[in-house]
């Protein structure tokens, strides 16, 4: 009997040494949501991140993934993270203007930083720290590597051509964030809808045009079937960033090695998503054309008008919003000057 007990203790000791007790500890379970439907590549990459963290941790941290709208209404993911309903989410900062007006500066900002510059600013020039400062008072945080910059968004998918500034006036369109506000100032009839509702809204005639994401994402969501015109320009959204956010209390409870693992895995996959969508967007451009969509560049006259309106818009906002707004705006503008001089 003593020999059996001794053998058992030896086996237990061996497992504790080899696995650090992981075989006997209870797994930490998180829930995480993306913001899009299952066909959205950002949602697909979100799910891959959750699975990769679960696998890399050896099951010590299990992250269950959910599509946008399945836990809370789509685009309301950070409300759930703040309340602890979700421990992680992958979503667009601009969906949270009700909480932080400055979020729009980091998300599809007209005249903002293009993809590579945006990620560099976020990871190395204090962008992530500024976002956390912006979110002070909420149970939410982020970290370097958590932002996927993505290629420029399609300016518009539309049933009607846009050739002049006058063509924007009265146009029933979906737009989000500052881009939507600026187009509204220029006369467009702007509404906001989650991405999963756009196909049906175009079919029903609720809207006649919309912006959503990259060529690659929009091709995979079959938007070629509902809009004849694919209008390209980076003027409204030079990058279409999404960011991983975590519940602050849940994060603080993680062991340091798991915190590092989560950051490393997310950093790898956000960069991979950017590169994937750049490549897929090149292919999608041809696919939209082959399908019969009319693909063209937004005329410079319209681009210049949007840029001028955006400049006025941000000058006004910086004067009336909280100090963090101007701090982020100045940080991004100063970084862009330095970046452009290379």
Residue 223, pLDDT > 60, answer yes
Residue 16, pLDDT > 70, answer no
Residue 164 confidence (pLDDT) = 97
* CATH code that applies to domain 154-238+290-340: 3.40.190.170
Q: Domain map of the chain by residue range?
A: 26-150+240-279, 154-238+290-340
Separation of alpha carbons 181 and 306, rounded Å:
11
Separation of alpha carbons 121 and 197, rounded Å:
33
Residue 7 confidence (pLDDT) = 53
Across the range 53-81, mean pLDDT stands at: 96
Radius of gyration of the chain, Cα coordinates, nearest whole angstrom:
22
For 110-145, the pLDDT digits (tens) are 988 999 999 999 999 999 999 999 999 999 999 999
Work out the number of other CB atoms within 10 angstroms of the CB of residue 299: 16
Residue 181, pLDDT > 90, answer yes
Separation of alpha carbons 306 and 301, rounded Å:
9
7-16, 18-27, 257-266, 325-334: least confident range: 7-16
Domain 26-150+240-279, what architecture? 3-Layer(aba) Sandwich (3.40)
Contact 325, 315 (CB under 8 A): no
Going by C-alpha positions, the residue among 64, 266, 38, 259 that lies closest to residue 148 is 266
Residue 253 confidence (pLDDT) = 97
For 71-104, the pLDDT digits (tens) are 999 999 999 999 999 999 999 998 999 999 999 9
Going by C-alpha positions, the residue among 14, 261, 278 that lies closest to residue 143 is 261
Residue 20, pLDDT > 60, answer no
Of residues 40 and 65, the one with the higher pLDDT is 65
Task: Give one word for 9, left, alpha or beta, with left for phi > 0 and alpha for psi -120 to 50.
Answer: alpha
Contact 93, 107 (CB under 8 A): yes
Separation of alpha carbons 302 and 183, rounded Å:
11
Contact 91, 75 (CB under 8 A): yes
- Domain pair 26-150+240-279 / 154-238+290-340, same fold: yes
Task: Give one word for 322, left, alpha or beta, with left for phi > 0 and alpha for psi -120 to 50.
Answer: beta
- SS3 of residue 159 by DSSP: coil
């Amino acid at each position: 009997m003593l020999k059996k007990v001794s053998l058992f203790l030896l086996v237990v000791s061996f497992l504790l040494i080899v696995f650090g007790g992981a075989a006997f500890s209870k797994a930490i379970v998180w829930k995480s949501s993306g913001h899009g439907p299952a066909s959205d590549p950002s949602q697909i990459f979100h799910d891959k991140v959750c699975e990769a963290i679960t696998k890399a941790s050896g099951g010590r941290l299990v992250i269950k993934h959910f599509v946008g709208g399945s836990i809370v209404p789509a685009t309301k993911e950070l409300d759930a993270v703040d309340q602890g309903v979700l421990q992680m989410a992958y979503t667009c900062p601009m969906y949270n203007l009700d909480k932080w007006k400055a979020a729009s500066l980091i998300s599809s900002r007209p005249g903002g930083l293009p993809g590579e510059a945006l990620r560099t600013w976020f990871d190395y020039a204090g962008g992530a720290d500024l976002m956390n400062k912006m979110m002070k008072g909420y149970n939410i945080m982020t970290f370097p590597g958590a932002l996927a910059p993505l290629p420029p968004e399609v300016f518009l998918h539309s049933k009607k051509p846009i050739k002049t500034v006058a063509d924007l006036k009265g146009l029933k369109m979906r737009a989000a964030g500052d881009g939507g506000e600026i187009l509204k100032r220029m006369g467009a009839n702007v509404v906001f809808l989650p991405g999963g509702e756009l196909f049906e809204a175009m079919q029903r005639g609720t809207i006649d045009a919309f912006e959503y994401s990259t060529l690659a994402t929009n091709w995979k969501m079959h938007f070629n079937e509902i809009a004849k015109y694919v209008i390209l320009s980076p003027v409204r959204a030079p990058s279409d960033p999404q960011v991983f956010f975590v519940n602050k209390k849940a994060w603080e409870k993680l062991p340091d090695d798991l915190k590092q693992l989560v950051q490393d895995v997310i950093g790898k996959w956000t960069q991979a998503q950017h590169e994937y969508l750049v490549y897929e967007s090149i292919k999608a451009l041809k696919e939209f054309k082959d399908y019969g969509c009319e693909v063209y560049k937004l005329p410079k006259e319209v681009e210049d008008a949007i840029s001028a309106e955006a400049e006025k818009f941000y000058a006004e906002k910086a004067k009336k919003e909280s100090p963090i707004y101007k701090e982020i705006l100045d940080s991004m503008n100063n970084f862009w000057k330095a970046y452009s001089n290379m």
